[in-house]
C-alpha cells in the first residue's frame, strides 16, 4: 500500500503500466508473448528456439518460434512412421524428399483426405533428373512413394466414395505413369461426383494442435497449419491434369482425330461442373479456366491454316493472350460438332457451377 501510494504521488504513469503488466499476465495470449520475449532475449534452445527477424526477404512475426536444426532432422527421419509425424516433418521443410507413411496408418485418420491429395501432388509432380534440386533422389525411392500414395488414395476412396477429388488425385498418378486411358476413366468418375472436398477444416484443427503440442506458439502454429491447407496443392493437382488433357487434345488435332478431340472437350465440360465444398477455405475448380496452352493453340492454328503464336519475346503479353483466345474460339466456332463447343463456350469462366 505504501508503495502504491508513493507511485501515485510521484508517478501515476508507472503505476498504470504496472497494472497493465499484471493484467497481461492473466491473459493467456499476452502471457505467452511475454515468455516468448524472454526466450528471445535468452538464447535457450531445446526442440524449438525463438528468433527475431532473420536475414532475407521473408517477413516473420516477432517473436517467431522455429524448430532447431537437430530436431528438424529428427522429424524428417521419423516422417514415414505415421501421418502425425509426416505432418511435423513437412513443417520442418524439404517435404518433397520425405517418404509417406504406409496407407494402413492413414485409415480412420482425420488427415486421410488431406494426405491423399497432398501426396498425389508432391509425388505425382516429381520427375527424376540428374540435377534435380529437392525431391526423392532415387528412382526406387520415388516409385515406392508413388505406390504408397496410390494405396492412400484407394483407402480414402473406400472411406469417402462420393468425393470426386480423390479420383482427380488418382488420375494424376495415372498420367504420371503414362496410363492415359486409366487417367481419363478416373476423371470421368470424378466429374460424376459433384462435391469435391479435401477435409480442410478437420485438417487445420488437427495440424494446428500437433504443431502447438510440438512447441510452436499459437500464432506460429496457426500460420504453419494455414500453409499446410490444400488450397495450393489441390490447385496444383488440377493444373497438372489440365496440362495432360491439353496434351491429348493437341495430339488429337495433329492426328486430325476430331472425334477424340471433342470427347476430351466434353470431359472438360463435365469437369467444370463439380464444386469444392470445403468450409473455411477457398478451393477453386481449375477446369473452369479458359486458358489454353501454346501447343494446343498452335495445333488449332495449324488446322485452320493460320500462323502459330508469336514468340513471347516478340510481342507484349496482352496482345499474345488476346490472340490465343481468338484462335481458340475461332477453331471451336468452325467445328461441325457445335453442341459440345457451345456448352464449353457457354460456361462462364468463374468459380460457380453452370
pLDDT in tens, 164-188: 999 999 999 999 999 999 999 999 9
* pTM (whole model) above 0.85: no
Render pLDDT for 234-282 as a digit per residue (tens, 0 to 9). 999 999 999 999 999 999 999 999 999 999 999 999 999 999 998 777 7
> How far, CA to CA in Å, does 234 sit from each of 43, 188, 196, 228, 247?
39, 18, 10, 11, 20
* pLDDT of 63 over the 80 cut: no
Least confident of 27-31, 77-81, 144-148: 27-31
* pLDDT of 152 over the 80 cut: yes
pLDDT > 90 in the chain, percent? 43
**DSSP per residue, 262-325:** HHHHHHHHHHTS-EE--TTS----GGG-----HHHHHHHHHHHTPPPPPPGGGS-HHHHHHHHH
- Report whether 167 contacts 174 (CB < 8 A): no
Percent of the chain as helix, strand, coil, to the nearest 5: 65, 5, 35
Pairing state between β 275-276 and 64-67: unpaired
Render pLDDT for 281-331 as a digit per residue (tens, 0 to 9). 778 899 988 778 899 999 999 999 999 998 887 778 888 888 988 998 898
Helix (H, G, I), strand (E, B) or coil at 352: coil
Mean pLDDT, rounded, for 4-8: 55
C-alpha cell at 125: 509432380
The pLDDT value given to residue 2: 57
C-alpha cell at 353: 457451377
Distance of CA 20 to the CA centre of its chain: 43
* pLDDT of 353 over the 70 cut: no
The pLDDT value given to residue 303: 92
C-alpha cell at 168: 482427380
Q: What are phi and psi of 321, to 5 degrees?
A: -65, -40
C-alpha cell at 234: 489441390
The pLDDT value given to residue 349: 46
Mean pLDDT, rounded, for 44-55: 65
C-alpha cell at 225: 497449419
CB-CB neighbours of 226 under 10 Å = 13
- Report whether 238 contacts 286 (CB < 8 A): yes
- Report whether 37 contacts 63 (CB < 8 A): yes
The pLDDT value given to residue 32: 60
* pLDDT of 1 over the 60 cut: no
- The radius of gyration computed from the CA coordinates of the chain, to the nearest angstrom, equals 26
Amino acid at each position: 500500500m505504501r508503495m502504491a501510494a508513493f507511485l501515485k504521488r510521484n508517478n501515476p504513469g508507472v503505476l498504470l503500466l504496472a497494472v497493465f503488466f499484471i493484467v497481461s499476465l492473466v491473459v493467456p495470449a499476452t502471457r505467452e508473448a511475454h515468455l516468448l520475449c524472454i526466450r528471445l532475449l535468452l538464447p535457450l534452445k531445446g526442440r524449438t528456439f525463438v528468433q527475431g527477424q532473420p536475414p532475407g526477404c521473408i517477413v516473420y512475426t516477432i517473436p517467431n518460434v522455429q524448430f532447431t536444426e537437430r530436431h528438424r532432422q529428427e522429424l524428417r527421419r521419423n516422417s514415414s512412421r505415421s501421418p502425425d509425424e509426416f505432418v511435423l516433418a513437412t513443417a520442418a521443410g524439404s517435404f518433397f524428399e520425405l517418404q509417406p507413411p504406409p496407407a494402413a496408418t492413414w485409415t480412420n485418420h482425420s488427415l486421410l483426405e488431406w494426405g491423399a491429395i497432398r501426396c498425389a501432388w508432391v509425388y505425382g509432380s516429381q520427375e527424376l533428373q540428374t540435377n534435380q534440386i529437392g525431391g526423392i533422389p532415387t528412382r526406387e525411392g520415388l516409385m515406392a512413394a508413388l505406390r504408397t500414395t496410390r494405396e492412400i488414395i484407394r483407402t480414402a476412396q473406400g472411406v469417402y466414395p462420393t468425393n470426386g477429388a480423390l479420383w482427380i488425385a488418382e488420375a494424376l498418378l495415372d498420367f504420371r505413369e503414362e496410363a492415359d486411358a486409366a487417367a481419363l476413366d478416373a476423371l470421368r468418375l470424378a466429374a460424376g461426383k459433384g462435391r469435391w472436398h479435401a477435409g480442410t477444416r478437420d485438417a487445420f484443427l488437427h495440424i494446428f494442435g500437433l504443431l502447438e503440442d510440438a512447441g510452436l506458439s499459437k500464432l506460429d502454429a496457426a500460420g504453419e497449419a494455414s500453409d499446410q491447407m490444400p488450397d495450393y496443392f489441390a490447385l496444383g493437382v488440377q493444373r497438372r491434369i489440365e496440362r495432360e488433357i491439353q496434351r491429348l487434345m493437341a495430339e488429337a488435332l495433329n492426328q486430325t482425330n476430331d472425334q477424340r478431340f471433342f470427347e476430351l472437350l466434353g470431359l472438360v465440360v463435365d469437369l467444370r461442373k463439380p464444386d469444392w465444398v470445403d468450409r473455411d477455405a477457398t478451393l477453386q475448380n481449375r477446369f473452369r479456366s479458359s486458358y489454353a496452352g501454346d501447343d494446343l493453340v498452335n495445333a488449332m492454328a495449324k488446322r485452320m491454316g493460320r500462323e502459330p503464336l508469336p514468340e513471347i519475346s516478340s510481342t507484349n503479353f496482352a496482345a499474345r493472350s488476346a490472340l490465343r483466345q481468338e484462335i481458340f474460339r475461332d477453331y471451336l466456332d468452325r467445328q461441325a460438332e457445335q453442341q459440345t463447343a457451345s456448352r464449353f463456350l457457354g460456361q462462364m469462366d468463374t468459380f460457380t457451377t453452370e
